[in-house]
Amino acid sequence: MSKIKLSENTIQTIKNICAEFQNKEGELINVLHKVQQNLGYLPAEVQELIAKELHTSVAKVYGVVTFYTFFTMIPKGEHPISICMGTACYVRGAEQVLNEFKRQLKVEVGQSTFDGKFSLNCLRCVGACGLAPVVMVGEKVFGRVAPAQVKKIIAEYRDTSARDTAKSA
């Protein structure tokens, strides 16, 4: 993986976030959450700067980032798609739904589409077992999803992106 160069603005943002938490090592998880909220992900270069600012090792920061599933070192797509693979969803066809998303988007789990519009991930349980199988696109929950609906769900978000681009032009 190639290294990225952090902009001065990004460096300052990270330093400011660390300072909000008094540059305390004990605030590592809070710092990581806030930095990821701002940047979208936590690449190695960001982890190195956080380690420096919190006076801790890069290994410790990396360990926390890789231990907790809500942190990511890979940029997410504009529309993150999450497929629930909990027991209720799985037995009601979540794997087939996942396979259709993979086929339609031409990505594997954990990847983003080439254009950066979509990323695909799996979740353990979203707590909506009565709606199984469940798919989340961003914060929106789709229930009782069948493989035949996948194309329509993707189109809804592709079309939204195209409309937003046209409005801003």
Note the pLDDT tens digit of each residue in 85-143.
999 999 999 999 999 999 999 999 999 999 999 999 999 898 999 999 999 999 899 99
Q: Cβ(50)–Cβ(14) under 8 Å?
A: yes
Spatial distance between the Cα atoms of 116 and 146, rounded to a whole number of angstroms: 25
Q: How are beta strands 118-123 and 79-84 bridged, if at all?
A: parallel
pLDDT given for residue 106 in this prediction: 98
- Express each pLDDT in 30-82 by its tens digit: 999 999 999 989 999 999 999 999 999 999 999 999 998 789 998 889 999 99
Average pLDDT over residues 133-162: 93
Q: What backbone phi and psi angles, to 5 degrees, belong to 85? A: -115, 20
What local confidence, expressed as pLDDT, does residue 70 receive? 82
> 20 pLDDT band (50/70/90 cuts)?
very high
Q: How confident is the model over 4-25, as a mean pLDDT? A: 96
pLDDT at 166 over 70: no
What integer pLDDT is reported at residue 1 of this predicted model? 47
Parallel/antiparallel/unpaired status of strands 118-123 and 140-142? unpaired
CATH 1.10.10 domain span(s) along the chain: 8-67
Q: CATH classification of 8-67 is 3.30.70, yes or no?
A: no
Q: Among 9-13, 47-51, 153-157, 160-164, which stretch is predicted with the lowest mean pLDDT?
A: 160-164
Other CB atoms closer than 10 Å to residue 53's CB: what's the count?
19
Q: Are 115 and 154 in contact (CB under 8 A)?
A: no
SS3 content of the chain, % helix, strand, coil (to 5): 55, 10, 35
Entry pTM: 0.68
> Which residue, 116, 115, 134, 114, is CA-closest to 124?
134
Residue 88 in tokens:
């209720």
Q: How confident is the model at residue 28 (pLDDT cuts 50, 70, 90)?
A: very high
Predicted pLDDT at 53: 98
Any idea which architecture 79-168 has in CATH? 3-Layer(aba) Sandwich (3.40)
pLDDT band at 163 (very low <50, low <70, confident <90, very high): low
Q: Check residue 92 and give its pLDDT.
A: 98
